[in-house]
Amino acid sequence: MPPELDTSANRAAAFSRGLRGEGPLIDFPEGERPKDFLGGEAVYPNVRVSGIDASWRFLCQFEDRGEAEEDPFFLNFGYGSGFLLISSDHLEGRFVSDCS
């Protein structure tokens, strides 16, 4: 991922943490954010995701697609994102989607 998108994703994740009370409040990050990425920190559209606690490690995130002619496949998360997570012992994986 280009460094500027990586920085943008980190700012968006920090903004979400601030809204959840897990860090300082920062201004809403402006500009383009990556839609799909591997590693780093999840950028939840609704600030949080239910059923996932801190013991789960974020693996990757991707947005829904399929409405544009150039989209290679169709995914529908209600204009949200899908998240893949792995347990701290690496024995279980979970998929969670969140609508925006």
Separation of alpha carbons 18 and 58, rounded Å: 18
- The predicted pLDDT at position 91 comes to 95
- The predicted pLDDT at position 89 comes to 93
Q: Could you report the per-residue pLDDT of 34-61, keeping only the tens digit for each?
A: 778 888 888 876 666 666 777 889 899 8
Quick one: 24 exposed, middle or buried, by C-beta within 10 A (0-12, 13-18, 19+)? exposed
Q: Could you report the per-residue pLDDT of 58-89, keeping only the tens digit for each?
A: 899 888 887 888 888 888 888 888 899 999 99
CA angle 64, 69, 70 (to 5 degrees): 75
